[in-house]
Chain A
């Protein structure tokens, strides 16, 4: 899987939640961020591998799943997605339809939904909700349950930010229904 967007949108965090869900299910997993100046306002992305077999290169060059939160990232990565793969798009920030017809595309207005529901900054988790609803807990690539996702979110939120747990849960639920 590849999570891509602007620095600050929480793409690394979203990837970490997915990675932890894999860890909880005893899968082989890896999480590799883009790092350095890219993270500071430029494009940021992270590669997450969840597999039954040991992971070779942790760098995802042809994702099965692309979660994308801005237009430059969509343009950069859309041609790399495996045929038959899934793309989850924040359609409130990306005003463009995917031209490829061999992909399974979900348009989720996650930034607008976050705004409307007073979940500022949690557009990423709305997309994670959609990702888990459609891919991680259902279909050919499913590897976990909703409970796993909840446990993964708990792992990713440090104790001093425990008050953030409920809003993250709310964002995930919103994404699952979107």
Chain B
């Protein structure tokens, strides 16, 4: 039978079942149940749970563990993720896989503790300094949170880069029925680059992000960007809902996509041709799905729990070929299906 789990707890259990035995964190609402769950489970299965002295310390412990070749993760909420930005940049610059979870709350600054999607820009464009991207996944149900954890670990390992699950306070706090995967499904790939000790049997591995010779650094960054092109081609994910004949295509991810889907269903009951594209990967952004839906739509409507961040990527993805509108609530406010429906009505 399915079990009822909070999103935060489901993320933790899914990570354990994906082979993660190293968690480093620091408490913050609305994410704390994740760390609390890890603190109970990890000691029982021979794993490491460590509450670090700060978010910065925690992310650098993840860097160290990842450099040694193990699956490592950290989790936080918006202000804490800002602190982790430096470590994420260092991991990207060292080609290290890791899983970072952001259960977003309202910002900027300490902001509030209610659900938000105002860290989209941070996750997809400016997690830290330098030329780099990370994989960003946006679940919309507790079950999808479970499913995306193992995918995020796998793809992070495959492409040797950090991956983030961008959730929010609503998804973290809510309970839904979930089916958990069996532990030890797919074995993690070999990591011949890991600095994990070898008894003098081979040349030593170096994990590093410092390259003082400009042409060396440029060629490394270019190699990374060649990898990003492959990812953009192969790893886009989106749900396309009633988009085949849609005049108005709503674009929303995570918690706001649940609201948007409710509004789309109500619009259909009224005979209005509305559809939904729900990005599941925010980077790579699902440009292909958007172009398919936009090709015969009259207008697009981005719905976010922010002042409008993903809406820029929607415009870029379709090269502004159709009008792209925006509706959002921010600061911890959650849009209602009725509010979104009014917006759809205005565009049909």
State yes or no: do A and B come from one complex.
yes
Using a CB–CB distance below 8 Å, which chain A residues touch chain B?
16, 19-20, 23, 29-33, 35-36, 55-59, 61, 155
CA distance A29 to B17 in the complex (A): 24
- Which of chain B's residues 1-19 have a Cβ closer than 8 Å to chain A? 1-2, 4
Kindly report which residue of chain A lies nearest to residue B338, judged by CB atoms. Answer: A61
A58 touches B4 (CB 8 A): no
- Which of chain B's residues 232-260 have a Cβ closer than 8 Å to chain A? 255, 258-259
B177 touches A55 (CB 8 A): no
Say whether B176 faces chain A, with CB atoms less than 8 Å apart: yes
Q: Can you list 13 A-B pairs, Cβ within 8 angstroms, ordered by A?
A: A20-B4, A23-B1, A23-B177, A31-B4, A31-B174, A32-B173, A33-B173, A35-B173, A36-B114, A56-B259, A58-B170, A59-B334, A155-B4
A57 touches B4 (CB 8 A): no
Name the A residues within 8 Å of B1 (CB-CB). 23
Q: A88 to nearest B CB, angstroms? A: 22
Say whether B113 faces chain A, with CB atoms less than 8 Å apart: yes
Kindly report which residue of chain A lies nearest to residue B332, judged by CB atoms. Answer: A36
Name the B residues within 8 Å of A16 (CB-CB). 4, 175
Q: B27 to nearest A CB, angstroms? A: 13
Q: Which of A19, A32, A33, A56 contacts B4 (CB 8 A)?
A: A19
Give me the 8 closest cross-chain CB pairs, A-B, nearest first. A56-B262, A31-B175, A32-B174, A57-B259, A36-B113, A56-B258, A56-B261, A57-B258
Say whether B30 faces chain A, with CB atoms less than 8 Å apart: yes
Number of interface residues of B (CB under 8 A): 23
CA distance A43 to B170 in the complex (A): 18
CA distance A35 to B169 in the complex (A): 9
Task: Decide if the interface of chain A is mainly helix, strand, loop or mixed.
Answer: mixed
CA distance A20 to B5 in the complex (A): 11
Q: A70 to nearest B CB, angstroms? A: 21
CA distance A32 to B2 in the complex (A): 18
Task: Decide if the interface of chain B is mainly helix, strand, loop or mixed.
Answer: mixed
A32 touches B170 (CB 8 A): yes
Using a CB–CB distance below 8 Å, which chain B residues touch chain A?
1-2, 4, 29-30, 113-114, 169-170, 173-177, 255, 258-259, 261-262, 265, 334, 336-337
Name the A residues within 8 Å of B176 (CB-CB). 29-31, 55, 58
B29 touches A35 (CB 8 A): yes
**Residue among B113, B175, B255, B258 with max Cβ neighbours from chain A (10 Å):** B175
**Residue among B173, B174, B337 with max Cβ neighbours from chain A (10 Å):** B174
Name the A residues within 8 Å of B265 (CB-CB). 56
Q: Which of B170, B173, B336 contacts A61 (CB 8 A)?
A: B336
Q: Which of A29, A31, A36, A58 contacts B258 (CB 8 A)?
A: A58
Name the B residues within 8 Å of A19 (CB-CB). 4, 175
B2 touches A36 (CB 8 A): no
Question: With contacts A32-B170, A58-B176 known, what are 4 further pairs, Cβ within 8 A?
Answer: A23-B1, A23-B2, A56-B259, A57-B259
Q: B317 to nearest A CB, angstroms? A: 24
B261 touches A58 (CB 8 A): no
Q: A160 to nearest B CB, angstroms? A: 13
CA distance A35 to B1 in the complex (A): 28
Name the A residues within 8 Å of B169 (CB-CB). 35
Kindly report which residue of chain A lies nearest to residue B255, judged by CB atoms. Answer: A57
**Residue among A30, A58, A61 with max Cβ neighbours from chain B (10 Å):** A58
Q: A23 to nearest B CB, angstroms? A: 5
B29 touches A36 (CB 8 A): yes
Name the A residues within 8 Å of B4 (CB-CB). 16, 19-20, 23, 29, 31, 155
Name the B residues within 8 Å of A23 (CB-CB). 1-2, 4, 177
Q: A80 to nearest B CB, angstroms? A: 11
CA distance A9 to B176 in the complex (A): 23
